[in-house]
Amino acid sequence: MSWSSSNSFLVLLLVTLPILVIFGFLSLYSPPFSIESSSKLLETEGSAAALAAVPSTTTPPLISSNSQHGEASEPPTPHGSTKPNREAPSDQADETHTPIFNHFVGASKRKSSPLKKIEASLARARFSIREASQIRNWTSTYHEDPDYVPHGPVYRNANAFHRSYLEMERLFKIYVYEEGEVPLFHNGPCRSIYSTEGRFIYEMEKGQLFRTRNPDKALVYFLPFSVVMMVHYLYVPNSHKDHYFQRVIVDYIDIISNRYPFWNRSLGADHFMLSCHDWGPRVSSFVPHLFHRSIRVLCNANTSEGFKPSKDASFPEIHIRTDKITGLIGGLHPSRRSVLAFFAGRLHGHIRYLLLQQWKNKDQDVQVYEELPHKVSYDSMLKKSKFCLCPSGYEVASPRVVEAIYAECVPVLISDSYIPPFSDVLNWKSFTVQVEVKDIPNIKTILMAISQRQYLRLYMRVKQVQRHFIVNATPKRFDVFHMTLHSIWLRRLNVQIQDQ
């Protein structure tokens, strides 16, 4: 698609805008909520600290678009509305408005608006999860689950996670905005390094799971644009110009905030976007509320780029080359893994530079390649190594993490400011090794110091968490699709939204 046709897409969207009247403002506050019961388990990870249970008396600031990481986050956006809509309910409402609209106009008179009902059910869910989290036990107390019972130290709190998961299955409903056109919207890559972006959009669009067509019943609202597709269709290579992205995203949010009451009601806090592309954070920054308030589900979960673990969610990058991933799952028995540590990859970014400089072609135990020898297969190296090095590249996330988990090779995360996927639920320290960038020269010493017993424990746990990273053609409970949904669900629990 050329720029001119996407231009006409914008014009079309703009012209067809029905302007709904302003009907009121909503206050919003967000008592931090967590599936953790105390901060003790959390001290290790920034992500979890942010999700830690704090008495709900804390009253975070009302609607504001304060930036949490001053730098790099606020490009000039002439359109971005940062002003909360505080006008009084208008009396322009009449019979020409949709039932949705009337619902909200009548909300103050009625006892229980749809939103109030939703919030009441969320309050019960919070209570129930909090209760479950008090039982400090590494095994879920719900043993009747036919598919899987979360257990063991791979979870921050297995019991709370299980309860939260079951509550999600009971209550979670997502509205997918229909505005926007293919290929930039409702569409995305289902293969390649960005497959998780396309697959999630595809599953939501199919509408079999958790989707509602009634926006009044939704707990969250999905903005189904694909950053990968925007880059593909709108970016002029090497131009370093992204004003087309800006127009698309600003116009899109304008449209949905004019056409529906939901965006203004929460200023985006119950809306989510999802992107696996490096530029996901950048694209979201064109609308300040999208950046600062909405749930952003990102592979590029870089806290130095404004990723905020209490409201944003990290999801995995999974390199899918063909439709079958089955061949990638599994590897040699631990006793037959002959390589201590393995990495192969290009020189992308400064962490890789340090790694390659230090270890490339230097050591039989720590095998680091910029390019694999001709007859050596990448997959078989993963399957016969004990540890797989997963350094950040040009951005923090690496598809190697999931490749390693699939191959039952213990991931060694080497990154800065990275929040790994599902950190709110998974205790990454229990099944990976985390090496600081400054310790790259000590990798061998660090890995050699891990006893066989400890290694076997890590190995077993990697096998256990595999299910949370598996991509299924038809999603299955507890797989990567459901874990991504669960992250969104958990962040929705973090906010309370009111009509008035």
Ligand X SMILES: *[C@@H]1O[C@H](CO)[C@@H](O)[C@H](O)[C@H]1NC(C)=O
- Kind plus residue range of the DSSP H or E element containing 446: helix 443-448
Number of neighbouring beta carbons within 10 Å of residue 438? 9
Question: Closest distance between ligand X and the C-beta of residue 333, in Å?
Answer: 30
d(CA 335, CA 408): 13
Binding mask 165-204 for ligand X (x = CB under 6 A): ----------------------------------------
Could you say which residues in the range 460-499 bind ligand X, by CB under 6 A?
none
Please work out the total of residues on this chain that contact ligand X, with binding judged by CB under 6 A.
21
- In the list 72, 149, 332, 446, the residue contacting ligand X (rule: CB under 6 A) is 72
In the set 128, 417, 430, 472, which binds ligand X (CB under 6 A)? 417
Could you tell me the smallest distance in angstroms from the CB atom of residue 413 to ligand X? 12
- b/e sequence 439-464, b meaning 16+ C-beta within 10 Å: ebeebbebbeebeeeebebbbebbeb
Q: Rule CB under 6 A: say whether 139 interacts with ligand X.
A: yes
Measured from the CB atom, the residue of 137 and 358 that comes closer to ligand X is 137
With beta carbons less than 8 A apart as the criterion, state whether 426 and 156 touch.
Answer: yes
CA distance 194 to 202: 13
User: Which is closer to ligand X, CB of 285 or CB of 466?
Assistant: 285
Encoded one letter per residue, x for contact with ligand X by CB under 6 A and - for no contact, window 77-106 reads ----x---x---------------------
Helix, strand, coil % (nearest 5) of the chain? 40, 10, 50
Q: Of 205 and 254, which has the nearer Cβ to ligand X?
A: 254
> Does 10 interact with ligand X (rule: CB under 6 A)?
no
Q: Tokens 């340090």 identify what position? A: 354
Q: How far, in Å, CA of 481 to CA of 477, rounded? A: 8
User: In the complex, what is the shortest distance from the CB of residue 363 to ligand X, in angstroms, rounded to a whole number?
Assistant: 24
222-261 binders of ligand X (CB under 6 A): 257-258, 261
Regarding 392 and contact with ligand X (CB under 6 A), the answer is: yes
Count of all residues that appear for the chain in the document: 500
Rounded Cα distance, 458 and 154, in Å = 10
Residue 27 or 472 having the CB closest to ligand X? 27
Cα 319 from chain centroid (whole Å): 16
Tell me if 19 sits within 8 A of 258, measured CB to CB. yes
On the question of a cis peptide bond just before residue 281, with omega within 30 degrees of 0, the verdict is no
| Interacting residue with ligand X among 141, 357, 380, 454 (CB under 6 A) | 141
Considering beta carbons, is residue 3 or 353 the nearer one to ligand X?
Answer: 353
Residue 434 contacts ligand X per CB under 6 A: no
Residues 255-294 that bind ligand X (CB under 6 A): 257-258, 261, 264
302 belongs to the binding site for ligand X (CB under 6 A): yes
CB 140, min distance to ligand X, A: 8
- List the end-to-end C-alpha distance of the chain, in Å, as a whole number: 43
**Least distance between ligand X and beta carbon 22 (Å):** 4
Question: Which CB atom, from 46 or from 349, has the smaller least distance to ligand X?
Answer: 349
User: Which residue from 329, 349, 363, 477 is in contact with ligand X, where contact means CB under 6 A?
Assistant: 349
Task: Count Cβ atoms below 10 Å from residue 245 Cβ, excluding itself.
Answer: 20
CA dist., res. 127 & res. 473, Å (int): 34
| Smallest separation, CB 415 to ligand X (Å) | 6
Closer of 56 and 358 to ligand X (Cβ): 358
Nearer to ligand X, 262 or 459 (CB): 262
Query: Would you count residue 67 as binding ligand X (CB under 6 A)?
Result: no
CB 417 within 8 A of CB 396: yes
Task: Give the Cα separation of 492 and 265 in Å (integer).
Answer: 14
Q: Which is nearer to ligand X, 195 or 266 (CB)?
A: 266
Q: Which string of DSSP letters, residue by residue, matches 82-146?
A: -S---PPPPS---TTS-HHHHHHHGGGTSS--HHHHHHHHHHHHHHHHHHHHHS--SB-S-TT-S
Q: What's the min distance (Å) between Cβ of 178 and ligand X?
A: 16
Q: Which is nearer to ligand X, 257 or 385 (CB)?
A: 257
20 binds ligand X (CB under 6 A): yes
Which residues of the shown chain bind ligand X in the complex (CB under 6 A)?
Answer: 20, 22, 72, 81, 85, 137, 139, 141, 257-258, 261, 264, 302, 304-305, 349, 392, 394-396, 417
